[in-house]
Structure formats: C-alpha cells, structure tokens
Amino acid sequence: MKRVSRAFSLISSIALLVACGSTPEKPAQVNQPKPQLETPVVEKKPELTVADYLQRANEASNPSQSTIWYTRAADAWLKQGEYAKAHALLEQLNSELLSPFMQNQFTLFKAEALTGLKQYQLSFNLAKDLPIIQGFEQRVWQVKVTSASHTQHHLAAAKALIGARQYIATDDQTGLTQNSDDTWAQITQLGTEGLRAFDNEQEKQLSGWLNLLNITRTYADTPKQMLVNIRHWQAQYQGHPAASQLPDSLLAALETEPYRPKNVTVFLPLSGKFARQGQVVQQGIMAGYYSQQNLLSLDTLTFVDTNNTDIATLELETDFIIGPLLKSNIEAVQQKFTQIPILLLNQLDELALDKMHYAFSLSPESEARQAAQKLAEIGYQHPIVIAANNSYGKRVAETFISEFTELTNIEPEVAYFKNSQEIKASVEYLMETDASKQRIKTIKALLGNPSNFESDARNRQDVDLIYVYGNTAQIKLLKPYVDINTAPFAKPSPIYTTSNGFSSDLTIADLKDLNGISFSEMPWVLPTRKQEVTLASEMQQLWNGNDDKAARLFAFGYDSFRIIPHLAQMRAFSGFHHIGLSGKLLVEPNGMVSRQLAWAQYKNEQVVEFKPVH
C-alpha cells in the first residue's frame, strides 16, 4: 500500500476540496400517470465524481482495488479538462497492480493527459502501440490521431484516421467528409518512403490513398493528365472514401493552372554595396535557366539593377517577377506590380502576401524553426540555448525557444555571449556547475583548505540537448567548456547548431575539435554534394575554391527560378514539394516557401549526413 498511500497523500487536499463542493443531489421526483401494465422503474444512477472515486480509493481494502479507483478518478479529471491533475495522479500509480484490460485504459488515460498538456511526443510513444479497447474505441483512435499528427508521424496519423472512420455514423456526412479531408492532409505530408506501401493488399483503403498521392505527384505539373488518371483511379477504387468525393484541397489543385511565363524579370542589386550577393544570385538564376530540367520556355529573361533604378516609374512587360533581394525594395515592387505573380527573395516580418505573391528566403529563423520542430519531434525535453549576443543570435534563439515551447509546452533556458569568457560563463550558468563549484569551494574552506581535498563539480542532470548559434570559431571554443562542465559520471548532452557552424575550409584539427556536433545545412553545400556534381565543380572553379556563402546564394537563385512552374500547385496542394539545391521546398498556404534542410555531423574528422535521433 505504500505507493498507493503516497499517491493519495499528494492529492488528498484536492480531494477534500472537490468532495466538499460536489455532493450529488438526489434526482427530483416526477409524478407520472400509472401505466396500465406495471413495469419496474429503473432510476439512472448519478455519475460518480472525482471526489467519489478518490474516497473509494482511500477506503479500498487492497492496493489493486485502490489503484482501479484512482485510475477512474484520473479519467474523471480528463473529462473535466484537468489534464495536469490527471497526469500527476497517474504518475504516482503502479499500473502493474491492474488487470491487462485496466492497464490498457491506464495507458490511454495517460496518453490523453499528455496530449492535453501538449506533450505530444510522449503521448505518441504511449499511443502508437495501444490496442483498441472495448468501450473506448473512439478515444483510442483520437489520441492516436492527435499525437501522431502533432509529431509529424503522418503515416501513423493517416492509419488512425482510417481506423476512426468506422465509428462515424453513415448519415454523418459532415463527419465523413472531415475525416477524408484530414486523412488526405496527412497523406500529402508523406515523403517517398510512405509510397512504398501503396500496393499493400492488407490495407486496401490506405493503399488507395497512397496510390492517389502517387498520381498527384506524378502529374502535378499537368492538371489535365492528373484528372484523367484520377478518373481511372476512381474506377479502380469504387468503394474508397475519395472515389465519390475528392478532398477539397485536391479539387483546388486540379483547378489551379501552373505558371508558364514567357517573360521573367528579376530585381537584384547588381551594383553598389550588395553587388556581390546580387551577382551570385544572378549566376544561380542563369544556371537554372540553362539547366536541362528547365520546364519554362522563355522569350526574355531580364535583370533589373535595383541600385540604380526607380521602381515606381519603371515600365515593364513581364509575366513573372523574381525579387527584389533587398527588403527596402519590397514595398515598391508589390505596389507597382499588383497583377503580376511575384516571388519575393526575402523574409517578410509582417506577412502580407496575396494569392499571386510568394516569399522565399534563407533566413536564420527558418533554420531555427525547423530545428525546433525536428528536435521536439524526436522527444527532447530539456534543451538549453546558447547564442551569440548579436541580432542574428537573438533572432535564432528567440525563434527556437518560441517554436519549441509551442510544440512541447516546455520553455528552454537561454544565455548569450559576446566573447570567449562569456562563452565559459554561459555554459557554467546554464549547466549550473558554477553553483556546484561554489559549494565545493565553501566546503573546502570549512575544512581548512586541505591539499588532498578533491571533488568534481556536478552539472544539472535534466539537460538533454544544447542548441547553439555561433560561427565555427565560437563553437570550437564552446565545446571544451561543455565537456569540462559535464561530470565524469554524467551522460554528455548532444550539441546542435545551424549552418553558421559549418565551413568547407575546416582543417583536420578543426574537425577534431568539433567532433560530435550536429548541424543543419543545404544538401548542395555539404562535402558529399550529391546533387549537380558537375555544376558544383564549375562553381568552385568560378569562385577559385570553396565559398560557402556564395554557394548558398547560388543555390537560392537556382531554386528561385526552377520553382516557378511548381509554385501555384505547391500552394494549392499541401505536401507537394520540389527537391532543390537549397533543400526540400514546400509552399505554405500563405505563400511562404519553406525549406527542409539536411542534417550532418562532425564525426571522425569528417562531415557525414545523418538522421537525428534521441
């Protein structure tokens, strides 16, 4: 009874308050005409309250029965939306005292509590293998859907939605339509690995969805051909939910015509202070234009130097605009060319894009946001952030913290540094070894400072991730401080950083110093450079060696041209992506082009690509 008693002691005060204020009233007596045939009148028993369950748990004759009542109390709290109370109670219980049937309920309730607390990864870990429980079928499917969709386990979410469909009434057309739309939304997020299962006869409905996805991706640039093949698909899968009613987003994509401009105009700073950046982006656009994979047949490709052009008075005959690169020129271009599709080459602080305008940038915030999403998905619970004390460092840190907090309801701690001494102080502060060192110093003084006194500082044990923003030199300084401030008996926390922590010109000594650090980066810039190897070699010759900043801008220009014929479909069709030099590109419904970067790690004096895991 010790474990159960501890559980009761933690919530006994709450139980008393709840019990005092929730005594059930007796049902009112209603006089009704006496029936001709006497039948027994069965009064509906009042539903037990949390206080009732807690009282029964306290009065139970054995630990097993007490645990059952406590589990029921947690369920009652869940129904009231008291997720924190439910989770705190379940954490104190020993589920091994329950029968297998009750153990499954216990797991369900815990997963639901974690979902309510936005601890989606922990919830998914419990829900993914949870069997369907008789009497709780809809709740099981719902927690599977919610936890999987919030952790980007899109195939699992789609399977759960398909499972949940059987519990929607056949006359509930709204519910059935919503289920189809939600399933399609998850299906369209799948990568190529998800399509491997589209001929699985054991999961016919899922196979149908995946087959439909394959058609939409194969014919994404030719809507008419897509429609013909969808009609064939509907004949093949006549009983499929989408056979009679295609998802709204797919219908919208079918009605969207791809951009096929004949005249493209590019606004770049080709002279003045930012000429170098503009010229490299121009080189990338020209490379995209001359690429064999270019789907556009242009009459003209015109470059306008924004450094010596009055955009407000400019007269152009053009079908599509790329740029401007500088934020100061964005408003002038948007106001001047209101009826022309535009791909802005900059991040907008205040999003103001109409249906023909798009925005594409290499902002450090997008890297931080993607890192937060990935690391939260993996399941890290206690990250700390260390960043350079400059505008970029603060933007990266604030974006990472905001995104991670939104996804997990856990707010990472942060420290900023200006120099090497502050790097040391930041590490010691966040890992709390400064306090440990002070305690050791105090104890040593109390003992008279004996010469043979030895003790290792203890760092905090809850930190499971360190996210850093800085250049390679700063990160080389930081890593030894992390190593020194990690106790010999403690597991080292992995260190992640942005592309700013990578350079193609690192020496063997540099690579040794950075060993174990992981970072996000454009596939094009990584040493393997699997894409466009010939093009990469030509650019290195043009720039007389490696130039990472130029390489990133070149890829940016290349992708901004190559993505033109895909933009409209990508915006209308969630999940449709384009593999570019700068990463896997997608278009959000608001017109923002987002990039999914590659992940790499310094390992054994090399840079290797890898998939982050906990």
Give me the pLDDT at residue 254, please: 80
DSSP string, 397-421: HHHHHHHHHHHHS---EEEEESSHH
Residue 367's nearest CA partner among 561, 505, 498 is 498
- What residues does 593 pair with on adjacent strands? 360, 587
User: Can you give the residue ranges of every domain in the chain?
Assistant: 182-254, 263-276+296-364, 365-564+582-609
3-state secondary structure of 591: coil
Under the banding of pLDDT at 50, 70 and 90, the label for residue 534 is confident
219, pLDDT greater than 60: yes
Select the more confidently predicted residue: 200 or 394.
Answer: 394
Torsion of CA 311, 313, 314, 318, to 10 degrees: 100
Looking at domain 182-254, its CATH architecture is: Alpha Horseshoe (1.25)
CA distances from 57 to 11, 91, 140, 176 (A): 12, 16, 25, 41
Choose the weakest-confidence range: 32-36, 230-234, 276-280, 515-519.
Answer: 32-36
Give me the pLDDT at residue 45, please: 64
CB burial of residue 226 (10 Å; 0-12, 13-18, 19+): buried
Looking at domain 365-564+582-609, its CATH architecture is: 3-Layer(aba) Sandwich (3.40)
Give me the pLDDT at residue 199, please: 61
Under the banding of pLDDT at 50, 70 and 90, the label for residue 23 is very low
**383-399 average pLDDT score:** 95
- The separation between CA 120 and the C-alpha centre of its own chain, rounded to angstroms, equals 11
Cα angle 56-60-66, degrees, rounded to a multiple of 5: 80
Look up tokens 């104190």; give the residue.
92
3-state secondary structure of 124: helix
573, pLDDT greater than 80: no
DSSP string, 195-234: GGGTT-GGGHHHHHHHHHHHHHHHTTT-HHHHHHHHHHHH
**pLDDT tens digit string along 491-506?**
788 999 999 999 988 9
Under the banding of pLDDT at 50, 70 and 90, the label for residue 29 is very low
**pLDDT tens digit string along 47-83?**
889 999 999 999 998 999 999 999 999 999 999 999 9
452, pLDDT greater than 70: no
16, pLDDT greater than 50: no
Cα angle 239-240-244, degrees, rounded to a multiple of 5: 85
Q: Is there a contact between 558 and 581 (Cβ–Cβ < 8 Å)? A: yes
Sheet containing 342-344: order of strands = 300-305, 263-268, 320-322, 342-344, 357-360, 592-596, 583-587, 578-580
* CA end-to-end span of the chain: 36
* Amino acid type, 330: I
CATH superfamily of 263-276+296-364: Response regulator (3.40.50.2300)
- 571 φ, ψ to 5°? -75, -40
Residues 6 or more apart whose CB falls under 8 angstroms from that of 367 comprise: 396, 498, 499, 520, 597
The neighbour count for residue 155, using CB atoms within 10 Å, is 18
- What is the pTM (predicted TM-score) of this model? 0.74
The overall average pLDDT reported for the chain is 85
- The reply to whether 263-276+296-364 and 365-564+582-609 are identical in fold is yes
3-state secondary structure of 240: coil
Helix axes 223-236, 204-218, angle to 10 degrees: 160
Give me the pLDDT at residue 222, please: 76
